[in-house]
Structure 1
């Protein structure tokens, strides 16, 4: 089906510590059972581009939800709130994992759920997606889009709110993992991606990485100068194929 009707709205979800936060939720409007995807927004916040990603998933037959990771500070799309989040170095890992887990629980509780839930994250959200693969046991698939700081060379530089480099937890991954990266990126650099891949191989994980020449950080983001349409189109194609394999009901 080239086009399908979808429904989209802002909803409440229960996140870390039982906190009630806002999330953007979209799903196909036709009756049926659909796989779910939690979209972890990038460091620039719970913004218009994130909402577009959620609707794109719904158009492709997924129930998708993007929790605002900044809701405790205020409107996650507000430049002032994003600036406060940046000044804090991002949200604490434990809090984010609780929010992602809560968003996944929201999807599974809906009558349209097929019971499968994946996670995708971009930029800082890519790091958090990798961390979710390590720490949230009931996920069915995870996509890391150019997640920075998965690899940290100097542990003394880790903030107290993010005390462990995600690569150190690689052994805990239980679900398939897809990684999409630009070879012109600096965080993660190609060397960082090499080290992450080596860890995944060492522990025998089910993963696939795709790396794109002439692409840097955030090459999916159409509104940024580093947008690369050809590479982004291929990345979306590979990502949807991955989720189709991992989240469809057998």
Structure 2
């Protein structure tokens, strides 16, 4: 069942990048049904598969601020709503099965969850089996301004198709965790956000002019950061720096560190998954949203 059966589809068709590239080809080709190649082999014994019965799910086109076509996966409860909206920002692997499943998990909690393909202009990470190639050929070329604009487009879509513009939230994982901090600074209309093990510090560049540590003191949106004490890519010193900067502001943001967890501890399809910490982090996410007025059922 899909949501978009109106003139928006015609508008999207006019944005397709080449003749003969159909709307269906674009949408199906950009968001895969399975897991990204670079994440193989999948840990089938722990990978979660949330059923879609009782939900409205699908892949629909957004129109980015630069008038480019951006596919997005969404999941929400059946019914008219309006439902609180959660933006979901993916890891470097794109909107593959795991991110889609996160959307369905949120939908089962009463949310309209939407995950746009934030890499669509630069390439398709789901089809690349080499992590370093994904980082070099796609991720390194994605401007933060483009990402923020596409998330704005996702908000517009969700809030005109059953989502509640006054109850807006966000979460993101790894690369998407950093994006969550950035979007919380960009859009003060967010009620709350949860960033999972997102990078906090780094050298500024033309594409990435600000890092979360640069934005922390002036945040107004309450962000919950979930980090692993044994994360080899995010030093605990960076996490402590971020905690100190957040205390200087008035957003009410917090950071929780799980001492025995490494990076990607929520990724249930990978060897890095830690069930206890993942479940505790998810509970904290739901509590954080509820504390900040999600208005769920």
Structure-2 change in CA distance of 1:203 and 1:239 (3 Å): same
Relative distance call for 1:78 and 1:107 in structure 2 (3 A) is same
State the match for 1:25 in structure 2.
74
Question: How many residue pairs get matched?
Answer: 243
- Equivalent position SS for 1:192: helix
Provide structure 1 residue ranges, at least 5 long, that are not aligned to the other structure: none
**Secondary structure of the residue that 1:69 maps to in structure 2?**
coil
* Distance apart, 1:248 and its partner CA: 2.1
Q: Partner residue of 1:182?
A: 228
What is the match of residue 52 of structure 1?
A: 101
1:7 lines up with 2:53 in the alignment: no
Which residue is equivalent to 2:168? 117
Matches of 1:90 and 1:208, distance apart in 2: 30
SS at match of 1:18: coil
Q: Using the alignment, how far apart are the partners of 1:90 and 1:54 within structure 2?
A: 26
**1:1-250 → structure 2 map (5 Å cutoff):** 5-75=54-124, 77-79=126-128, 83=133, 86-88=136-138, 89-113=140-164, 115-148=166-199, 150-152=200-202, 155=203, 158-249=204-295
* Cα pair distance change 1:90/1:127, threshold 3 Å: farther
> CA RMSD for the aligned pairs?
2.2
Q: Secondary structure at the match of 2:255?
A: strand
Distance 1:207 1:187 in 2: 22
Rg comparison, structure with higher value: 2
Aligned partners of 1:34 and 1:61 also within 8 Å: yes
Q: Matched residue of 2:188: which SS?
A: coil
Deviation of residue 167 (structure 1)?
A: 1.2
Q: CA deviation at 1:33?
A: 2.4
Q: After TM superposition, give the deviation of residue 112 of structure 1 in Å.
A: 4.3
Q: TM-score, normalised by structure 1?
A: 0.89
Does the CA-based 8 Å contact 2:82-2:163 persist in structure 1? yes
User: Offset at 1:55?
Assistant: 0.8
